[in-house]
Amino acid sequence: MIEIKNLVKKFGPFTAVDGVSFSVQRGEVLGFLGPNGAGKSTLISILLGTLEPDSGAVKLGRMSGASSRARSAVSTGAATSWCVVTPGSQPCACR
């Protein structure tokens, strides 16, 4: 289970993640869609424990805290990948 409550992350005057809250139960699938600069990568980095939020709470399973999130993410096989998709393109090999 993933629980996010009132998550905020700022980079100087820029707010990348602004009060995000959601939960994902076991067996559910979640995707993040949005324009460049919407905070998707920042949110995933916080979930994986590679970036600390300025405020709010993150819980993966029974674990909270960045080091615990990182261990939990590794144990579940979580990883990031980047894939460029353009209209009419064939499925790509993500990197």
Q: Give the pLDDT confidence score for residue 1 in this predicted structure.
A: 80
More confident call, 86 vs 5: 5
pLDDT at 34 over 60: yes
Residue 72: which residues within 8 A CB-CB, separation 6 or more? 49, 60, 61, 63
Q: Residue 66 burial by CB count (10 A; 0-12/13-18/19+): exposed, middle or buried?
A: middle
Across the range 11-40, mean pLDDT stands at 90
Return the closest-CA partner of residue 1 out of 67, 78, 59, 41: 59
For residue range 6-24, what is the model confidence (pLDDT) as tens digits?
999 999 999 999 999 999 8
Q: How far apart are CA 25 and CA 57, in angstroms?
A: 16
For residue range 49-90, what is the model confidence (pLDDT) as tens digits?
778 899 998 887 766 565 555 555 555 556 566 555 566 655
